[in-house]
Amino acid sequence: MDSASVPASQSGDHQSPVAARFDLWAAGYDTSVLQDAFYARLHYHVLHLAARVKPSPHRVLDLGCGTGRLLRAAAARFPHAELLGADISAGMLEQAQARAQAAAPNPLGDRRAGRREVALLQADAAHLPLISAAFDVVTCTAGSHHWPDPRPVLAELRRVTAPEGLLILAHLPGVAAWDHRTGTSCLTVLLGDAGFRITKAALYAECPVMPTTVVLCARPDTPPRRRSGVIRRLRPGDGG
């Protein structure tokens, strides 16, 4: 995945407020008590679900990969997959790169599980510089509530997911301004509108302070259906 292996410090000038915020948090991000109490468990859960549907994926994208923790676990879980992490924050990607280097194969070619190269890309989720239909597994954990508008992101996710590929979104419901529903959250509706087929949506509440909706979707090998609310119904005599 050479075209995607852009060093974080050389790629683009994304200065969104959310990128600036995560750049500030990046150095201390992995020291949070939530890392072991929530994120590590959630990542395990997501990868376990992914492996049940796609036991041996070719390419895995983790969108909003942060410091790359899920990808390092994915390296152990999917030893033959190409792994790519994309994130808007250069600071988070620098942390991911440093941790990946610390776990990199040694000169004797040690390729034990969890010690593989991971490609990292700085990009806004709404504009992914990635080829279409490239990933048979796409994950995104605890990132969607930061998207100002989920629709362009979901369109991009659909574009880069391979036909019959799997998308797993772990979403914190009711946090984003656009997510005015609780429970299953608006995201499930928006995923359907973006052309995904939802196969499972369940509440993951192992960490009670961070209840999370985990949605599994397939990307059908058909064009997205059009939203019924957007299609104008013509009556006889409307004249177009």
Ligand X SMILES: C[S@@+](CC[C@H](N)C(=O)[O-])C[C@H]1O[C@@H](n2cnc3c(N)ncnc32)[C@H](O)[C@@H]1O
Cα-Cα-Cα-Cα torsion 162, 202, 96, 4, nearest 10 degrees, comes to: 10
From the CB of residue 16, how many other CB atoms can be counted at a distance below 10 Å?
A: 13
Residue type, 131: I
Q: Which of residues 22-41 bind ligand X (CB under 6 A)?
A: 22, 39
Would you say 149 and 126 are in contact if contact means Cβ atoms under 8 Å apart? Answer: yes
What's the min distance (Å) between Cβ of 97 and ligand X?
13
Q: Are 139 and 60 in contact (CB under 8 A)?
A: yes
Cβ 142 vs Cβ 168: under 8 Å: no
- Position among 18, 37, 186, 207 found at the interface with ligand X (CB under 6 A): 18
Among 70, 119, 121, 130, binds ligand X (CB under 6 A): 70
- Chain centroid, CA 109 distance in Å: 30
List the one residue from 54, 69, 77, 116 that touches ligand X (CB under 6 A). 69
Q: Which span (84-92, 192-200, 218-226, 228-236) binds ligand X, by CB under 6 A?
A: 84-92
What single DSSP character describes residue 10?
G
Residues 94-153 that bind ligand X (CB under 6 A): 124-125, 141-143, 146-147
Q: Is 38 or 196 the residue whose CB approaches ligand X more closely?
A: 38
Cα distances (Å, whole numbers) of residue 24 to 18, 19, 127: 10, 9, 23
- Nearest distance, CB of residue 39 and ligand X, angstroms: 5
How far apart are CB 4 and ligand X at their closest, in Å? Answer: 14
Nearest to ligand X of 116, 146 (CB atom): 146
Angle at 165 between CA 64 and CA 112, to 5 degrees: 65
Residues in the interface with ligand X (CB under 6 A) total 19
Q: Shortest Cβ distance from residue 124 to ligand X (Å)?
A: 5
- β-bridge mates for residue 217, sequence order: 167, 198
| C-beta of residue 65 within 8 angstroms of C-beta of residue 71 | yes
Binding residue (CB under 6 A) for ligand X from 92, 121, 167, 201: 92
In the bound state with ligand X, the residue whose beta carbon lies nearer, of 125 and 201, is 125
Closest contact distance (angstroms) between CB of 178 and ligand X is: 13
- The contact mask relative to ligand X for 45-64 (x = CB under 6 A, - = no) is -------------------x
58: Cα within 13 Å, side-chain hemisphere: 8
Site residues for ligand X per CB under 6 A = 18, 22, 39, 64-66, 69-70, 87-89, 92, 124-125, 141-143, 146-147
